[in-house]
Amino acid sequence: MLYELVNFADEFNVLNVFRYVTFRTGGAIMTALFFVFLFGPGIIRLLRVRQGKGQPIREDGPERHLFTKVGTPTMGGLMILLGVTVATLLWANWANPYVWIVLGVTLAFGAIGFYDDFMKVTRRSAAHGFTGKVRLALEFAIAAAATWLMVSLGKEPFASSLTVPFFKDVLIYLGPFFILVGAFVIAGSGNAVNLTDGLDGLAIVPVMIAAATFGLIAYLSGHAVFAKYLQIHFVPGAGELAVFCGALLGAGLGFLWFNAPPALIFMGDTGSLALGGALGSIAVATKHELVLAIVGGLFVLETVSVIVQVISFKLTGKRVFRMAPLHHHFEQKGWEEPTVVVRFWIIAVVLALIGLATLKLR
């Protein structure tokens, strides 16, 4: 909305700053941050009153959680989504279709997560909500539609191809199958972040790190000069997603204020599913799908730990990890919660740096 002020730049030169993605990204960060700071306490009070006993805690989880986390309200993702939406609408260029597609995926995934959270809270069980098949079907339908829209914005064969990190000229043309790949990336990212969200502050910081990383990737990919210099693929219009990533970073910082141990609120599926879907859709839009697996490697590890645990138990009756996802395994080994969280943050930073290295090492 504020982008429209550039129409008056001829009369007021100072308004030229609204042309720059970097300036509007900074504005989106601060807007989302202060929005969550301002309205966060009220949202927490409202959710605490509405939910009563808070989020149900899984009974097979670490025993200490049954005493320390019970009664904490969930659906804190609402404050993140509100902050992201307000900041994006305020600072982004409304004429850019990528902004609407990514924002649409984020809110749609958030709606799925909200329904799950609502059913769990009202029925007082962590097992209630969408069935796994229905939830995945909805996610894949939304993700496939978003991927199709993004493909339609580009030029073939590039739009339907998978780019490969570290190789400047390698493109894997997938044709119509790229829709399935894009849907897998978006839905898989949503569920991976959802699995990671199990300890206070554990998921939100890696999400912010990934958002900042992809904000830079989006800016460079959408800038013809920088893309040519770095020998990465130029995606016209993708640079505007840096504003969305800034909003995600700012809202995440605000949420962390309330989610830091001991958490006053959990983001719930409302937040984790939406944030993961957002990262996945940005990766597809910027043609850095495989880089997301590096930058979001922590989410991949958490997901793989669950898959390995399930397969091992079904085939052999034995568990590879003491508990899955992976963060619970280290808790069961005796690590304190803050130790697990901070060390996982460090891993997320290292993986983000490796992901950024793919921009130059070609």
Structurally, the chain folds into a number of domains equal to 1
4 or 39, greater pLDDT: 39
Give the whole-angstrom CA distance, residue 268 versus residue 136: 17
Q: Which run of H or E residues covers position 173?
A: strand 171-173
| Structural domain contains residue 65 | yes
In the chain, the percentage of residues whose pLDDT exceeds 90 is: 71
Q: For residues 58 and 228, which has the higher predicted lDDT (pLDDT)?
A: 228
Structure tokens at 354: 């490796």
Q: What is the mean pLDDT of residues 119-131?
A: 70
CB-hemisphere CA count at 13 Å for 13? Answer: 0
What CA–CA distance (Å, rounded) separates 171 from 160? 10
pLDDT tens per residue, range 72-100: 888 999 999 999 999 999 999 999 999 99
The yes-or-no verdict on residue 303 having pLDDT over 60 is yes
339 inside domain: yes
Q: Is the pLDDT of residue 60 over 60?
A: no
Question: What's the pLDDT at 256?
Answer: 96
Mean pLDDT over all residues of the chain? 90
Please give the residue range of the domain that contains residue 101: 2-357
Asked whether residue 362 is domain-assigned, the answer is no
Residue at 63 is within a domain: yes
Q: What is the pTM of this model?
A: 0.93
Q: Which of 208, 211, 356 is nearest to 291 (CA)?
A: 356
Q: Taking a C-beta distance cutoff of 8 angstroms, is the pair 186, 280 a contact?
A: yes
pLDDT digits (tens, 9 = 90+) for 222-255: 999 999 999 899 999 999 999 999 999 999 999 9
**What integer pLDDT is reported at residue 263 of this predicted model?**
87
Tell me if the bond preceding 176 is cis, omega within 30° of 0: no
The pLDDT assigned to 13 comes to 80
Q: How far is CA 357 from the centre of its chain?
A: 21
pLDDT of residue 67: 47
Smallest CA-to-CA distance from 279 within 189, 212, 151, 181 is with 189
Residue 244, judged by CB atoms within 10 A of its CB (0-12, 13-18, 19+), counts as buried
Q: Please report whether residue 228 resides in a domain.
A: yes
Please indicate, yes or no, if residue 252 is contained in any of the structural domains. Answer: yes
E-strand ranges in 221-352 read: none
